[in-house]
A and B are shown apart, each in its own frame.
Chain A
Amino acid sequence: SQQGEEDPQALSIQEGENATMNCSYKTSINNLQWYRQNSGRGLVHLILIRSNEREKHSGRLRVTLDTSKKSSSLLITASRAADTASYFCATARVQAGTALIFGKGTTLSVSS
Chain B
Amino acid sequence: GAVVSQHPSRVICKSGTSVKIECRSLDFQATTMFWYRQFPKQSLMLMATSNEGSKATYEQGVEKDKFLINHASLTLSTLTVTSAHPEDSSFYICSAHRGQGDTGELFFGEGSRLTVL
Residues on A close to B: CB < 8 A? 1-2, 30-31, 40-43, 45, 88, 92, 97-105, 107
User: Between A and B, how many residue pairs show CB distances below 8 Å?
Assistant: 54
Instruction: Specify the main secondary structure of chain A where it touches its partner.
Output: loop
- Scan B32-73; emit 1 where CB is below 8 A from any A CB, else 0: 101010000111111001010000010110000000000000
**Which of these, B44, B60, B95, B113, contacts A88 with CB under 8 Å?**
B44
28 pairs, CB–CB < 8 Å, chain A vs chain B: A1-B60, A2-B43, A2-B45, A30-B102, A31-B102, A40-B91, A40-B111, A41-B110, A41-B111, A42-B93, A42-B109, A42-B110, A42-B111, A45-B108, A88-B43, A88-B44, A98-B32, A98-B101, A98-B104, A99-B34, A99-B46, A99-B49, A100-B95, A102-B43, A102-B44, A104-B42, A105-B43, A107-B41
A97 touches B109 (CB 8 A): no
Residues on B close to A: CB < 8 A? 32, 34, 36, 41-46, 49, 51, 57, 59-60, 91, 93, 95, 97, 101-102, 104, 106, 108-111, 113
